[in-house]
Amino acid sequence: MRAYKFRVYPSKKQEEEMCRHLWVSKELWNEMLAFTKEIYNNYEKFPTKKTLRELVKNSGLFSQVGQELVDRLIDALHRKIEMKKKGEKGGFPRFKSFDRMKSLRYPQYEFGFSLDKKLKVTPFGEISIKKHREVKGRIKTLTLKKEASGKWFAVFCVDTPKEISKENRGAAVGIDLGLKTFATLSNSLKIGNPRHLMKHEDRLAFIQRKFSKKKKRSKSRKRAKVRIARLHEKVADTRKDFLHKTSTQLVNDYSFIALEKLASKEMAEQSYGKQINDAGWNMFANMLAYKAEGAGCRVVFVDPKNTSKMCSRCGNIRNDLTLWDREYDCPNCGLSIDRDLNAARNILTRATPGHGGSNACNSLQKERDVAVATSVKQEACTL
């Protein structure tokens, strides 16, 4: 599966109708959730899908969009049950405000929507679309999504044919991801960190201060909120553009890429959260994984334990190494090397058969499947 995202340009009348459907979707979601909670509190069970679909019939919403909302709610309830079985804390889904209901999802191609020169969507008619590339594969679903900036996008989930791998005679490389330098390669190449958010922090702080001074529920406050959203969108777009170009170049230049399997979410919660999120490590790893097959490249994720503390020449481990030490000086063999370069070489060694890499290679397809699923989910499956 792959996601294709295109900008759409509805007319004023179409946009009003699309916004009305978002409002109806929000009302339907809240009604179904309130009904579900009432049934659960009284009878300690959940209503059936058939019962919830009866609420859709009277909502005035296009039937498939309403039924997809039912499926979302049922999936959320199943997750709650699974978490309860595992002894984890899991509550009900949340009620939605209008700002949190951002998309209309059509689950079947040609039953509610079709794509040619224009996008035809029931009940909005033909909508102008900027189709900057051809959709390769069989379209499965459509998500009409309104961003906080006010822009509308169409996201297609497509069942793509298996790509024929190109011949790639590039070298093998290990990559250490960082903050000061975005990526250090085991062949000594370095890719700088553009720090997308930092470049706009002063401007963002300025418009956020202006926003905070606006009267609540006023038109000027709404306009200020849109300005903030547009700046965040600009930062996200430049980050994604950088990651796409960098990942494409790497999978084309190298036949084998090894990098750490980083728990960047947990790392972001502990320290340097803003910088880690700004760097986009997870997004970059996902891009490498799903682009690799078509480029004739193999991507392997390895255990990150001690990759920075271990000497890449003799294997000695320095437990006294701190984040402030930018050079790795080995007391055992005398090697003096850049800390990130040392880590990149250890990552490549660990991914090589005979050093734990055979297991990593066996899990390659699983990593790719997860990466593709994550990519599609990020694009299309947001409420």
Angstrom distances, CA of residue 346 to CA of 231, 312, 314 = 39, 5, 11
- H/E run at residue 378: helix 364-380
What is the distance between the terminal CA atoms of the chain, rounded to a whole angstrom? Answer: 20
Please tell me whether residue 354 adopts helix, strand or coil conformation.
coil
Using CB atoms within 10 A of its CB, is residue 7 exposed (0-12), middle (13-18) or buried (19+)? middle
d(CA 340, CA 343) in angstroms, rounded, equals 5
Residue 289 and residue 250 in contact, taking contact as beta carbons nearer than 8 Å:
no
Contact yes or no for 55/38 (Cβ under 8 A): no
Alpha-carbon gap, residue 344 to 341, rounded angstroms: 5
The domains of the chain are located at 2-159, 171-380
The pTM (predicted TM-score) of the whole model is 0.82
For the chain, 383 residues long, give each residue's pLDDT as a single digit of tens: 889 999 999 999 999 999 999 999 999 999 999 999 999 999 889 999 999 999 998 888 888 999 999 999 999 999 888 888 888 887 889 999 988 899 999 998 877 888 888 999 989 999 999 999 999 889 999 999 999 999 999 999 999 877 767 788 899 999 999 998 999 999 999 999 999 999 999 999 999 999 999 999 899 999 999 999 999 999 999 999 999 999 999 999 999 999 998 776 666 656 677 888 888 999 999 999 989 988 999 999 999 899 999 999 999 999 988 888 889 999 999 999 999 999 999 999 999 865 444 344 444 444 445 444 544 444 444 44
Nearest to 53 by CA among 35, 39, 38: 35
Please state, in angstroms and rounded to a whole number, the distance separating the CA atoms of residues 37 and 45. Answer: 9
234 residue type, one letter: K
Structure tokens at 182: 């975005």
Q: For 19, phi and psi rounded to 5 degrees?
A: -65, -35
Give the other-Cβ count within 10 Å of 369's Cβ: 13
pLDDT at 363: 43
316 token code pair: 């000695």
| Structural tokens at position 169 | 């005679």
Nearest Cα to Cα of residue 259 among 344, 358, 328: 344
Q: Two tokens at 254?
A: 């190298």
Between helix 12-43 and helix 63-85 the angle, nearest 10°, is 40
Q: How far apart are CA 281 and CA 275, in angstroms?
A: 10
CA angle 282, 284, 287 (to 5 degrees): 110
Q: Which CATH architecture has domain 171-380?
A: 2-Layer Sandwich (3.30)
Q: How does DSSP assign 201-226, residue by residue?
A: HHHHHHHHHHHHHSPTT-HHHHHHHH
Tell me the C-alpha distance between 330 and 272, whole Å.
27
CA dist 246 and 251 (Å) reads 9
Lay out the sheet containing 171-177: strands in order across.
190-192, 181-185, 171-177, 254-260, 298-302
